[in-house]
Structure 1
Protein backbone atom coordinates (compact mmCIF):
# COMPACT_ATOMS: atom_id res chain seq x y z
CA UNK A 1 0.00 0.00 0.00
CA UNK A 2 1.32 3.45 -0.89
CA UNK A 3 0.79 6.71 0.92
CA UNK A 4 2.36 9.94 2.11
CA UNK A 5 3.61 10.79 5.60
CA UNK A 6 1.48 13.61 6.98
CA UNK A 7 2.81 13.63 10.55
CA UNK A 8 5.60 12.14 12.61
CA UNK A 9 5.64 12.14 16.42
CA UNK A 10 7.74 10.07 18.82
CA UNK A 11 8.80 7.45 16.28
CA UNK A 12 5.27 7.00 14.93
CA UNK A 13 4.37 8.11 11.41
CA UNK A 14 0.87 8.80 10.17
CA UNK A 15 0.41 7.80 6.54
CA UNK A 16 -2.37 9.16 4.34
CA UNK A 17 -3.57 6.35 2.06
CA UNK A 18 -6.63 5.63 -0.06
CA UNK A 19 -7.95 3.67 2.92
CA UNK A 20 -7.49 6.53 5.35
CA UNK A 21 -4.70 7.54 7.75
CA UNK A 22 -2.68 4.61 9.12
CA UNK A 23 -0.28 4.79 12.08
CA UNK A 24 3.08 3.18 11.25
CA UNK A 25 6.57 2.63 12.57
CA UNK A 26 9.63 2.54 10.32
CA UNK A 27 11.28 -0.79 9.51
CA UNK A 28 14.47 -1.23 11.53
CA UNK A 29 16.60 -1.37 8.38
CA UNK A 30 16.33 2.43 8.02
CA UNK A 31 18.62 2.79 11.03
CA UNK A 32 21.46 1.60 8.81
CA UNK A 33 20.78 3.96 5.90
CA UNK A 34 21.16 7.69 5.34
CA UNK A 35 17.42 8.06 4.79
CA UNK A 36 15.10 8.75 7.71
CA UNK A 37 11.33 9.04 7.17
CA UNK A 38 10.22 12.65 6.82
CA UNK A 39 6.88 14.43 6.61
CA UNK A 40 6.00 14.61 2.91
CA UNK A 41 7.72 11.34 1.99
CA UNK A 42 5.96 8.99 -0.41
CA UNK A 43 6.20 5.51 1.10
CA UNK A 44 5.25 1.86 0.72
CA UNK A 45 3.75 0.31 3.86
CA UNK A 46 2.63 -3.13 5.01
CA UNK A 47 0.12 -4.08 7.68
CA UNK A 48 1.47 -6.74 10.04
CA UNK A 49 -0.63 -8.01 12.94
CA UNK A 50 -2.86 -4.97 12.65
CA UNK A 51 0.07 -2.51 12.74
CA UNK A 52 1.55 -0.51 9.89
CA UNK A 53 5.22 -0.68 8.93
CA UNK A 54 7.07 1.59 6.49
CA UNK A 55 8.89 -0.66 4.00
CA UNK A 56 10.18 1.79 1.39
CA UNK A 57 10.79 5.54 1.05
CA UNK A 58 10.62 6.78 -2.53
CA UNK A 59 13.22 9.23 -3.90
CA UNK A 60 12.47 12.84 -2.96
CA UNK A 61 11.88 15.61 -5.47
CA UNK A 62 12.85 18.19 -2.86
CA UNK A 63 14.00 18.20 0.75
CA UNK A 64 13.98 21.03 3.25
CA UNK A 65 16.17 20.89 6.34
CA UNK A 66 14.36 23.52 8.36
CA UNK A 67 11.50 22.77 8.43
CA UNK A 68 12.08 19.06 7.77
CA UNK A 69 9.64 18.28 4.99
CA UNK A 70 10.02 16.46 1.67
CA UNK A 71 8.51 16.82 -1.80
CA UNK A 72 7.32 20.40 -1.34
CA UNK A 73 6.34 21.93 -4.70
CA UNK A 74 5.65 25.53 -3.69
CA UNK A 75 6.18 27.92 -0.78
CA UNK A 76 4.06 30.77 0.49
CA UNK A 77 6.83 33.05 1.77
CA UNK A 78 4.89 35.09 4.32
CA UNK A 79 6.34 38.42 5.48
CA UNK A 80 4.76 41.43 7.14
CA UNK A 81 5.98 44.84 6.06
CA UNK A 82 5.17 46.18 9.52
CA UNK A 83 4.84 44.51 12.93
CA UNK A 84 7.43 43.03 12.61
CA UNK A 85 9.33 45.23 10.14
CA UNK A 86 10.32 43.47 6.94
CA UNK A 87 13.85 42.07 6.96
CA UNK A 88 14.96 42.20 3.30
CA UNK A 89 18.03 40.05 3.90
CA UNK A 90 15.95 37.31 5.47
CA UNK A 91 13.43 37.46 2.62
CA UNK A 92 16.23 37.01 0.11
CA UNK A 93 17.59 34.03 2.06
CA UNK A 94 14.18 32.34 2.00
CA UNK A 95 14.01 32.88 -1.77
CA UNK A 96 17.49 31.39 -2.22
CA UNK A 97 16.42 28.37 -0.16
CA UNK A 98 13.40 27.91 -2.44
CA UNK A 99 15.54 28.15 -5.57
CA UNK A 100 18.09 25.70 -4.17
CA UNK A 101 15.34 23.16 -3.49
CA UNK A 102 13.44 23.66 -6.78
CA UNK A 103 10.42 25.04 -4.90
CA UNK A 104 8.30 27.74 -6.52
CA UNK A 105 7.93 30.72 -4.13
CA UNK A 106 4.92 32.99 -3.82
CA UNK A 107 5.79 36.15 -1.86
CA UNK A 108 2.86 36.95 0.44
CA UNK A 109 3.06 40.42 1.97
CA UNK A 110 0.77 40.29 4.98
CA UNK A 111 -0.77 43.01 7.17
CA UNK A 112 -1.14 45.36 4.22
CA UNK A 113 -3.43 47.57 6.33
CA UNK A 114 -0.30 48.61 8.25
CA UNK A 115 1.77 49.30 5.12
CA UNK A 116 2.15 52.39 2.95
CA UNK A 117 2.25 52.33 -0.85
CA UNK A 118 5.88 53.45 -0.69
CA UNK A 119 6.84 50.48 1.49
CA UNK A 120 5.02 48.03 -0.76
CA UNK A 121 6.67 49.54 -3.85
CA UNK A 122 10.11 49.09 -2.27
CA UNK A 123 9.54 45.33 -2.03
CA UNK A 124 8.08 45.15 -5.55
CA UNK A 125 11.04 47.05 -6.98
CA UNK A 126 13.54 44.78 -5.24
CA UNK A 127 11.96 41.69 -6.76
CA UNK A 128 11.39 43.16 -10.22
CA UNK A 129 12.87 40.94 -12.90
CA UNK A 130 12.80 37.82 -10.71
CA UNK A 131 9.48 36.55 -12.02
CA UNK A 132 8.27 35.91 -8.47
CA UNK A 133 4.59 36.52 -7.87
CA UNK A 134 3.80 38.99 -5.09
CA UNK A 135 0.41 38.89 -3.41
CA UNK A 136 -0.74 41.60 -0.98
CA UNK A 137 -2.82 39.90 1.70
CA UNK A 138 -4.42 40.41 5.07
CA UNK A 139 -4.58 36.98 6.69
CA UNK A 140 -6.72 38.23 9.57
CA UNK A 141 -9.50 39.69 7.39
CA UNK A 142 -9.08 37.30 4.45
CA UNK A 143 -7.98 39.79 1.77
CA UNK A 144 -6.70 37.76 -1.23
CA UNK A 145 -6.55 34.51 0.76
CA UNK A 146 -9.06 32.93 -1.66
CA UNK A 147 -6.44 33.30 -4.39
CA UNK A 148 -3.92 31.41 -2.25
CA UNK A 149 -6.45 28.69 -1.51
CA UNK A 150 -6.93 28.10 -5.25
CA UNK A 151 -3.16 27.66 -5.63
CA UNK A 152 -3.08 24.78 -3.12
CA UNK A 153 -4.67 22.28 -5.49
CA UNK A 154 -2.35 19.42 -6.52
CA UNK A 155 0.57 20.91 -4.56
CA UNK A 156 2.42 20.33 -1.33
CA UNK A 157 2.77 23.84 0.04
CA UNK A 158 4.96 25.07 2.88
CA UNK A 159 4.23 28.31 4.72
CA UNK A 160 7.52 29.89 5.69
CA UNK A 161 8.74 33.23 6.93
CA UNK A 162 9.76 34.94 10.16
CA UNK A 163 7.98 34.53 13.46
CA UNK A 164 5.04 36.88 13.87
CA UNK A 165 4.44 37.38 10.14
CA UNK A 166 1.06 35.65 10.29
CA UNK A 167 1.62 32.12 8.96
CA UNK A 168 -0.62 30.44 11.54
CA UNK A 169 -3.31 33.07 11.00
CA UNK A 170 -3.11 32.47 7.26
CA UNK A 171 -3.37 28.69 7.70
CA UNK A 172 -6.44 29.14 9.90
CA UNK A 173 -8.01 31.30 7.20
CA UNK A 174 -7.21 28.75 4.47
CA UNK A 175 -8.73 25.97 6.56
CA UNK A 176 -11.72 28.01 7.63
CA UNK A 177 -11.22 27.05 11.27
CA UNK A 178 -8.93 27.62 14.24
CA UNK A 179 -6.30 24.96 13.58
CA UNK A 180 -3.13 26.64 14.78
CA UNK A 181 -2.90 28.78 17.88
CA UNK A 182 -1.74 32.28 16.97
CA UNK A 183 0.55 34.43 19.07
CA UNK A 184 0.93 38.14 19.58
CA UNK A 185 3.95 40.20 18.63
CA UNK A 186 6.23 40.80 21.59
CA UNK A 187 6.70 44.55 22.05
CA UNK A 188 10.08 43.94 23.68
CA UNK A 189 11.72 41.89 20.91
CA UNK A 190 9.49 42.84 17.97
CA UNK A 191 8.68 39.33 16.81
CA UNK A 192 6.09 36.66 17.46
CA UNK A 193 6.13 33.81 19.92
CA UNK A 194 6.80 30.28 18.70
CA UNK A 195 3.25 28.94 18.62
CA UNK A 196 3.53 26.06 16.12
CA UNK A 197 4.62 22.80 17.76
CA UNK A 198 5.36 20.37 14.92
CA UNK A 199 5.22 19.98 11.16
CA UNK A 200 2.09 18.35 9.85
CA UNK A 201 0.52 18.09 6.40
CA UNK A 202 -3.10 19.18 6.30
CA UNK A 203 -5.41 18.50 3.37
CA UNK A 204 -6.90 21.67 1.88
CA UNK A 205 -8.58 22.10 -1.52
CA UNK A 206 -7.12 18.86 -2.97
CA UNK A 207 -3.64 19.83 -1.84
CA UNK A 208 -1.47 19.45 1.25
CA UNK A 209 -0.14 22.27 3.42
CA UNK A 210 2.51 22.20 6.13
CA UNK A 211 2.70 24.88 8.79
CA UNK A 212 6.00 25.19 10.61
CA UNK A 213 7.50 27.14 13.49
CA UNK A 214 8.38 30.71 12.59
CA UNK A 215 11.95 31.85 13.02
CA UNK A 216 13.77 35.13 12.47
CA UNK A 217 17.14 33.80 11.28
CA UNK A 218 17.94 31.38 8.49
CA UNK A 219 21.31 29.82 7.73
CA UNK A 220 21.99 28.85 4.14
CA UNK A 221 25.67 28.05 4.64
CA UNK A 222 25.41 24.98 2.41
CA UNK A 223 25.39 27.22 -0.69
CA UNK A 224 28.62 27.20 -2.74
CA UNK A 225 29.86 30.41 -4.35
CA UNK A 226 29.77 28.96 -7.89
CA UNK A 227 26.09 28.06 -7.41
CA UNK A 228 24.83 31.26 -5.79
CA UNK A 229 24.35 33.14 -9.09
CA UNK A 230 22.00 30.36 -10.25
CA UNK A 231 19.57 31.21 -7.45
CA UNK A 232 18.93 34.76 -8.68
CA UNK A 233 16.41 34.51 -11.56
CA UNK A 234 17.09 38.08 -12.69
CA UNK A 235 20.63 36.96 -13.62
CA UNK A 236 19.46 34.18 -15.96
CA UNK A 237 19.47 36.24 -19.16
CA UNK A 238 23.01 37.48 -18.50
CA UNK A 239 24.86 34.47 -17.01
CA UNK A 240 26.08 33.22 -20.41
CA UNK A 241 26.78 36.62 -21.95
CA UNK A 242 29.63 37.77 -19.72
CA UNK A 243 33.16 38.10 -21.12
CA UNK A 244 34.49 35.29 -18.94
CA UNK A 245 32.94 31.87 -18.64
CA UNK A 246 31.93 31.14 -15.06
CA UNK A 247 31.75 34.86 -14.23
CA UNK A 248 30.67 35.38 -10.61
CA UNK A 249 29.34 38.90 -11.39
CA UNK A 250 31.64 40.42 -8.81
CA UNK A 251 34.60 42.40 -10.14
CA UNK A 252 35.16 40.71 -13.48
CA UNK A 253 35.55 42.99 -16.53
CA UNK A 254 32.89 42.60 -19.20
CA UNK A 255 30.29 41.34 -16.71
CA UNK A 256 26.80 41.75 -18.18
CA UNK A 257 25.10 41.48 -14.78
CA UNK A 258 27.09 44.44 -13.42
CA UNK A 259 26.23 46.32 -16.61
CA UNK A 260 22.52 45.52 -16.12
CA UNK A 261 22.68 46.78 -12.53
CA UNK A 262 24.27 50.04 -13.68
CA UNK A 263 21.51 50.46 -16.28
CA UNK A 264 18.81 49.80 -13.71
CA UNK A 265 17.68 46.53 -15.31
CA UNK A 266 18.58 44.55 -12.17
CA UNK A 267 17.64 45.91 -8.76
CA UNK A 268 20.70 47.33 -7.02
CA UNK A 269 19.63 46.23 -3.51
CA UNK A 270 19.22 42.60 -4.63
CA UNK A 271 22.60 42.72 -6.35
CA UNK A 272 24.23 44.19 -3.23
CA UNK A 273 22.75 41.35 -1.16
CA UNK A 274 24.19 38.88 -3.70
CA UNK A 275 27.66 40.42 -3.32
CA UNK A 276 27.40 40.50 0.47
CA UNK A 277 26.49 36.85 0.63
CA UNK A 278 29.12 35.90 -1.96
CA UNK A 279 31.73 37.54 0.28
CA UNK A 280 30.40 35.65 3.31
CA UNK A 281 30.76 32.36 1.43
CA UNK A 282 34.38 33.26 0.55
CA UNK A 283 35.17 34.12 4.17
CA UNK A 284 33.74 30.81 5.39
CA UNK A 285 35.73 28.96 2.77
CA UNK A 286 38.97 30.69 3.77
CA UNK A 287 38.35 30.03 7.47
CA UNK A 288 38.16 26.28 6.78
CA UNK A 289 41.89 26.33 6.14
Structure 2
Protein backbone atom coordinates (compact mmCIF):
# COMPACT_ATOMS: atom_id res chain seq x y z
CA UNK A 1 0.00 0.00 0.00
CA UNK A 2 1.27 3.51 -0.76
CA UNK A 3 2.24 5.88 2.03
CA UNK A 4 2.05 9.68 2.06
CA UNK A 5 1.52 12.78 4.14
CA UNK A 6 -1.72 14.70 4.69
CA UNK A 7 -1.14 18.26 3.47
CA UNK A 8 -4.71 19.56 3.70
CA UNK A 9 -7.96 18.66 5.49
CA UNK A 10 -11.18 20.23 4.28
CA UNK A 11 -14.85 19.25 4.56
CA UNK A 12 -14.16 15.64 5.50
CA UNK A 13 -11.56 15.09 2.78
CA UNK A 14 -7.85 14.55 3.37
CA UNK A 15 -5.41 15.46 0.64
CA UNK A 16 -2.45 13.06 0.70
CA UNK A 17 0.78 13.75 -1.17
CA UNK A 18 3.00 10.88 -2.29
CA UNK A 19 6.00 11.61 -4.56
CA UNK A 20 4.40 14.82 -5.77
CA UNK A 21 1.01 13.31 -6.60
CA UNK A 22 -2.02 14.35 -4.50
CA UNK A 23 -4.87 11.93 -3.75
CA UNK A 24 -8.15 13.13 -2.24
CA UNK A 25 -9.00 10.62 0.50
CA UNK A 26 -11.69 9.91 3.02
CA UNK A 27 -11.04 8.24 6.36
CA UNK A 28 -12.29 4.71 6.91
CA UNK A 29 -15.21 4.31 9.32
CA UNK A 30 -12.96 2.51 11.78
CA UNK A 31 -11.28 5.86 12.57
CA UNK A 32 -14.56 7.24 13.92
CA UNK A 33 -15.14 4.04 15.88
CA UNK A 34 -11.66 4.26 17.43
CA UNK A 35 -11.95 8.06 17.87
CA UNK A 36 -8.96 8.72 15.63
CA UNK A 37 -9.06 11.92 13.60
CA UNK A 38 -6.47 12.16 10.83
CA UNK A 39 -4.60 15.48 11.01
CA UNK A 40 -2.67 17.62 8.59
CA UNK A 41 0.97 16.52 8.95
CA UNK A 42 0.07 12.89 9.57
CA UNK A 43 2.02 10.17 7.78
CA UNK A 44 -0.57 7.69 6.51
CA UNK A 45 -1.07 4.47 4.62
CA UNK A 46 -3.74 4.89 1.96
CA UNK A 47 -5.45 2.99 -0.81
CA UNK A 48 -6.04 4.74 -4.12
CA UNK A 49 -9.36 3.91 -5.80
CA UNK A 50 -8.23 5.75 -8.95
CA UNK A 51 -5.82 8.54 -9.95
CA UNK A 52 -7.53 11.13 -7.75
CA UNK A 53 -9.49 9.40 -4.97
CA UNK A 54 -8.82 6.95 -2.20
CA UNK A 55 -9.16 5.96 1.45
CA UNK A 56 -6.84 6.40 4.44
CA UNK A 57 -6.23 2.99 6.01
CA UNK A 58 -3.74 3.78 8.78
CA UNK A 59 -2.36 6.80 10.62
CA UNK A 60 1.29 6.33 11.60
CA UNK A 61 2.50 7.15 15.11
CA UNK A 62 2.82 10.90 15.72
CA UNK A 63 5.74 12.61 17.42
CA UNK A 64 3.40 15.42 18.54
CA UNK A 65 0.03 16.95 17.83
CA UNK A 66 -1.60 20.30 18.43
CA UNK A 67 -5.30 20.78 19.14
CA UNK A 68 -5.60 24.38 18.00
CA UNK A 69 -4.53 24.44 15.23
CA UNK A 70 -5.16 20.73 14.48
CA UNK A 71 -1.83 19.57 13.06
CA UNK A 72 0.64 16.73 13.76
CA UNK A 73 4.39 16.05 13.51
CA UNK A 74 5.44 19.70 13.74
CA UNK A 75 9.21 20.35 13.83
CA UNK A 76 9.31 24.12 14.27
CA UNK A 77 6.99 26.91 15.34
CA UNK A 78 7.50 30.46 14.16
CA UNK A 79 5.87 32.47 16.93
CA UNK A 80 4.82 35.63 15.14
CA UNK A 81 4.38 38.68 17.35
CA UNK A 82 4.04 42.26 16.17
CA UNK A 83 6.13 45.12 17.48
CA UNK A 84 2.99 47.28 17.51
CA UNK A 85 -0.71 46.94 16.55
CA UNK A 86 -1.18 44.78 18.60
CA UNK A 87 1.56 45.68 21.07
CA UNK A 88 4.28 43.13 21.83
CA UNK A 89 3.28 41.03 24.85
CA UNK A 90 5.96 38.93 26.60
CA UNK A 91 3.26 37.34 28.80
CA UNK A 92 1.43 36.06 25.72
CA UNK A 93 4.67 35.04 24.03
CA UNK A 94 5.72 33.05 27.11
CA UNK A 95 2.35 31.28 27.04
CA UNK A 96 2.98 30.24 23.43
CA UNK A 97 6.56 29.21 24.26
CA UNK A 98 5.43 26.97 27.12
CA UNK A 99 2.93 25.14 24.91
CA UNK A 100 5.47 24.77 22.11
CA UNK A 101 8.20 23.53 24.47
CA UNK A 102 5.77 21.06 26.07
CA UNK A 103 5.05 19.60 22.63
CA UNK A 104 8.79 19.28 21.82
CA UNK A 105 8.60 21.78 18.98
CA UNK A 106 11.54 24.09 18.31
CA UNK A 107 10.43 27.73 18.46
CA UNK A 108 11.67 30.74 16.50
CA UNK A 109 10.44 34.12 17.76
CA UNK A 110 9.57 36.38 14.86
CA UNK A 111 8.77 40.05 15.57
CA UNK A 112 6.89 41.74 12.71
CA UNK A 113 5.87 45.31 11.85
CA UNK A 114 9.24 46.68 12.95
CA UNK A 115 8.84 49.44 10.34
CA UNK A 116 5.92 50.83 12.40
CA UNK A 117 7.76 50.87 15.74
CA UNK A 118 9.24 54.05 17.24
CA UNK A 119 12.84 54.24 18.48
CA UNK A 120 11.80 53.79 22.17
CA UNK A 121 9.63 50.82 21.19
CA UNK A 122 12.49 49.24 19.22
CA UNK A 123 14.85 49.76 22.16
CA UNK A 124 12.37 48.03 24.48
CA UNK A 125 12.02 45.15 22.00
CA UNK A 126 15.82 44.79 21.83
CA UNK A 127 15.90 44.40 25.61
CA UNK A 128 13.26 41.67 25.46
CA UNK A 129 15.11 40.00 22.57
CA UNK A 130 18.32 39.91 24.64
CA UNK A 131 16.51 38.07 27.42
CA UNK A 132 15.00 35.50 25.07
CA UNK A 133 18.31 34.96 23.26
CA UNK A 134 20.04 34.43 26.60
CA UNK A 135 17.47 31.70 27.32
CA UNK A 136 18.48 30.04 24.05
CA UNK A 137 15.79 31.23 21.65
CA UNK A 138 16.25 32.58 18.14
CA UNK A 139 14.70 36.05 17.76
CA UNK A 140 14.32 37.57 14.30
CA UNK A 141 12.99 41.07 13.54
CA UNK A 142 11.17 41.43 10.22
CA UNK A 143 8.93 43.75 8.25
CA UNK A 144 6.54 42.39 5.63
CA UNK A 145 6.16 45.92 4.28
CA UNK A 146 9.88 46.55 3.61
CA UNK A 147 10.84 42.82 3.57
CA UNK A 148 13.69 43.62 5.98
CA UNK A 149 14.95 40.51 7.81
CA UNK A 150 12.68 38.08 5.97
CA UNK A 151 15.58 36.27 4.26
CA UNK A 152 16.79 35.17 7.72
CA UNK A 153 13.77 32.84 7.98
CA UNK A 154 14.56 30.58 5.02
CA UNK A 155 17.30 28.45 6.67
CA UNK A 156 14.90 27.58 9.51
CA UNK A 157 12.32 26.27 7.02
CA UNK A 158 14.53 23.78 5.22
CA UNK A 159 13.41 20.17 5.52
CA UNK A 160 10.97 20.92 8.33
CA UNK A 161 7.23 21.01 8.98
CA UNK A 162 6.68 24.44 10.45
CA UNK A 163 3.72 26.37 11.79
CA UNK A 164 3.35 30.13 11.83
CA UNK A 165 1.37 30.85 14.97
CA UNK A 166 0.37 33.92 16.91
CA UNK A 167 -2.64 36.02 17.79
CA UNK A 168 -4.80 37.42 14.99
CA UNK A 169 -3.64 40.59 13.31
CA UNK A 170 0.12 40.20 13.85
CA UNK A 171 0.80 39.64 10.15
CA UNK A 172 1.24 35.88 9.73
CA UNK A 173 -0.41 35.79 6.30
CA UNK A 174 1.41 38.96 5.18
CA UNK A 175 4.72 37.37 6.14
CA UNK A 176 3.93 34.14 4.26
CA UNK A 177 2.95 36.21 1.21
CA UNK A 178 6.46 37.72 1.26
CA UNK A 179 8.11 34.31 1.67
CA UNK A 180 6.08 32.95 -1.24
CA UNK A 181 4.34 35.73 -3.20
CA UNK A 182 2.23 33.44 -5.42
CA UNK A 183 0.22 32.35 -2.35
CA UNK A 184 -1.77 35.60 -2.28
CA UNK A 185 -3.16 34.69 1.16
CA UNK A 186 -5.98 36.93 2.25
CA UNK A 187 -5.10 39.45 4.96
CA UNK A 188 -7.17 41.83 7.02
CA UNK A 189 -6.29 44.95 8.93
CA UNK A 190 -6.80 45.23 12.66
CA UNK A 191 -10.38 45.98 13.62
CA UNK A 192 -10.31 49.38 15.33
CA UNK A 193 -13.44 48.47 17.26
CA UNK A 194 -12.14 45.16 18.64
CA UNK A 195 -8.44 45.99 18.62
CA UNK A 196 -7.63 42.65 17.03
CA UNK A 197 -7.51 41.15 13.58
CA UNK A 198 -10.25 39.13 11.96
CA UNK A 199 -9.55 35.46 11.32
CA UNK A 200 -8.55 35.23 7.68
CA UNK A 201 -7.36 31.60 7.56
CA UNK A 202 -10.17 29.06 7.45
CA UNK A 203 -8.39 25.72 7.35
CA UNK A 204 -4.96 24.25 7.97
CA UNK A 205 -2.90 23.44 4.88
CA UNK A 206 0.77 22.60 4.40
CA UNK A 207 2.37 24.64 1.64
CA UNK A 208 5.85 24.39 0.17
CA UNK A 209 8.15 27.26 1.05
CA UNK A 210 11.82 26.88 0.30
CA UNK A 211 12.71 23.28 1.04
CA UNK A 212 10.09 22.82 3.74
CA UNK A 213 6.37 22.60 4.45
CA UNK A 214 4.60 25.40 6.28
CA UNK A 215 1.13 25.63 7.81
CA UNK A 216 -0.57 29.00 7.91
CA UNK A 217 -2.62 28.49 11.04
CA UNK A 218 -5.58 30.38 12.46
CA UNK A 219 -4.88 32.50 15.53
CA UNK A 220 -5.01 30.32 18.64
CA UNK A 221 -8.44 30.56 20.25
CA UNK A 222 -7.28 28.75 23.39
CA UNK A 223 -3.94 28.87 25.16
CA UNK A 224 -4.82 27.04 28.34
CA UNK A 225 -2.43 24.67 30.07
CA UNK A 226 -4.78 21.70 30.14
CA UNK A 227 -2.15 18.95 29.95
CA UNK A 228 0.81 20.49 31.82
CA UNK A 229 1.35 19.60 35.47
CA UNK A 230 2.94 22.00 37.98
CA UNK A 231 6.08 19.86 38.21
CA UNK A 232 6.53 19.98 34.41
CA UNK A 233 6.23 23.75 33.96
CA UNK A 234 9.85 24.56 34.84
CA UNK A 235 11.12 22.34 32.02
CA UNK A 236 9.21 24.56 29.56
CA UNK A 237 11.40 27.55 30.54
CA UNK A 238 14.94 26.63 29.39
CA UNK A 239 16.74 29.05 31.71
CA UNK A 240 14.63 27.96 34.72
CA UNK A 241 15.21 24.31 33.83
CA UNK A 242 18.99 24.84 33.69
CA UNK A 243 19.16 26.80 36.94
CA UNK A 244 16.79 24.35 38.65
CA UNK A 245 19.39 21.59 38.40
CA UNK A 246 21.30 23.42 41.18
CA UNK A 247 18.35 23.74 43.58
CA UNK A 248 18.90 22.08 46.95
CA UNK A 249 15.64 20.15 46.91
CA UNK A 250 14.51 17.75 44.21
CA UNK A 251 11.13 18.78 42.84
CA UNK A 252 11.67 22.45 43.76
CA UNK A 253 8.92 24.60 42.24
CA UNK A 254 11.02 27.77 42.71
CA UNK A 255 8.43 29.61 44.77
CA UNK A 256 9.20 29.57 48.52
CA UNK A 257 11.68 26.72 48.83
CA UNK A 258 15.01 27.48 50.56
CA UNK A 259 18.30 27.53 48.62
CA UNK A 260 16.49 27.78 45.28
CA UNK A 261 18.99 28.39 42.47
CA UNK A 262 16.29 29.84 40.22
CA UNK A 263 15.33 32.57 42.68
CA UNK A 264 19.03 33.31 43.17
CA UNK A 265 19.49 33.84 39.41
CA UNK A 266 16.40 36.09 39.30
CA UNK A 267 17.86 38.20 42.12
CA UNK A 268 21.18 38.39 40.28
CA UNK A 269 19.46 39.52 37.07
CA UNK A 270 20.52 36.41 35.14
CA UNK A 271 16.89 35.31 34.66
CA UNK A 272 14.72 38.31 33.66
CA UNK A 273 12.05 39.29 36.17
CA UNK A 274 9.27 39.15 33.59
CA UNK A 275 10.10 35.54 32.71
CA UNK A 276 10.03 34.50 36.36
CA UNK A 277 6.80 36.44 37.01
CA UNK A 278 5.15 34.74 34.04
CA UNK A 279 6.35 31.37 35.34
CA UNK A 280 4.77 32.09 38.75
CA UNK A 281 1.50 33.23 37.14
CA UNK A 282 1.32 30.12 34.95
CA UNK A 283 2.13 27.91 37.94
CA UNK A 284 -0.73 29.43 39.91
CA UNK A 285 -3.04 28.96 36.93
CA UNK A 286 -2.12 25.27 36.72
CA UNK A 287 -2.62 24.77 40.47
CA UNK A 288 -6.08 26.39 40.32
CA UNK A 289 -7.13 24.43 37.23
CA UNK A 290 -10.37 22.58 37.65
CA UNK A 291 -10.02 18.82 37.22
CA UNK A 292 -11.46 17.30 34.06
CA UNK A 293 -13.52 14.14 34.22
How many pairs does the alignment contain?
Answer: 288
- How far apart are the structure 1 equivalents of 2:109 and 2:50? 47
Relative to the length of structure 2, the TM-score reads 0.93
Which residue of structure 2 aligns with residue 91 of structure 1? 93
Q: Cα gap change, 1:30/1:264 in structure 2, threshold over 3 Å: closer, same or farther? A: same
- How far apart are the structure 2 equivalents of 1:4 and 1:98? 22
- How far apart are the structure 2 equivalents of 1:151 and 1:240? 30
Which residue of structure 1 aligns with residue 116 of structure 2? 114
- How far apart are the structure 1 equivalents of 2:19 and 2:116? 44
1:68-83 equivalent positions in 2, closer than 5 A: 68-83=70-85
Cα offset, 1:19, TM superposition:
4.8
Which residue of structure 2 aligns with residue 199 of structure 1? 204
Cα RMSD after superposing both structures: 1.8
* Secondary structure of the corresponding residue to residue 225 of structure 2: coil
Preserved CA contact (<8 Å) 1:81 1:119:
no
Q: Cα gap change, 1:187/1:215 in structure 2, threshold over 3 Å: closer, same or farther? A: farther
Which residue of structure 2 aligns with residue 162 of structure 1? 167
Preserved CA contact (<8 Å) 1:107 1:133:
yes
Please point out which of 120, 132, 156 is paired with 1:127.
132
1:47-86 equivalent positions in 2, closer than 5 A: 47-48=48-49, 51-86=53-88
- How far apart are the structure 2 equivalents of 1:19 and 1:272? 48
The CA deviation string for residues 5-27 of structure 1, in whole angstroms up to 9 with x for no partner, is 01111111100111511111111
* Secondary structure of the corresponding residue to residue 196 of structure 2: coil
Which residue of structure 1 aligns with residue 259 of structure 2? 254
Preserved CA contact (<8 Å) 1:110 1:137:
yes
1:200-219 equivalent positions in 2, closer than 5 A: 200-215=205-220, 218-219=223-224
Relative to the length of structure 1, the TM-score reads 0.94
- How far apart are the structure 1 equivalents of 2:46 and 2:160? 22
Cα offset, 1:178, TM superposition:
4.2
Q: Which runs of 5 or more residues in structure 2 are unaligned?
A: none
The CA deviation string for residues 126-182 of structure 1, in whole angstroms up to 9 with x for no partner, is 424310000010022211112212321100010001111000001111112243101
The CA deviation string for residues 45-90 of structure 1, in whole angstroms up to 9 with x for no partner, is 1123563111111111111111000011001100002111112211
Cα offset, 1:237, TM superposition:
2.2
Q: Cα gap change, 1:56/1:228 in structure 2, threshold over 3 Å: closer, same or farther? A: same
- How far apart are the structure 2 equivalents of 1:79 and 1:224? 26
- How far apart are the structure 1 equivalents of 2:135 and 2:86? 24
* Secondary structure of the corresponding residue to residue 243 of structure 1: coil
Preserved CA contact (<8 Å) 2:77 2:165:
yes
Q: Which runs of 5 or more residues in structure 1 are unaligned?
A: none
Q: Cα gap change, 1:279/1:66 in structure 2, threshold over 3 Å: closer, same or farther? A: same
Which residue of structure 2 aligns with residue 225 of structure 1? 230
* Secondary structure of the corresponding residue to residue 3 of structure 1: strand
The CA deviation string for residues 217-275 of structure 1, in whole angstroms up to 9 with x for no partner, is 62223211010001000023222211111101111001000001001111111001101
* Secondary structure of the corresponding residue to residue 108 of structure 2: strand
- How far apart are the structure 2 equivalents of 1:231 and 1:96? 5
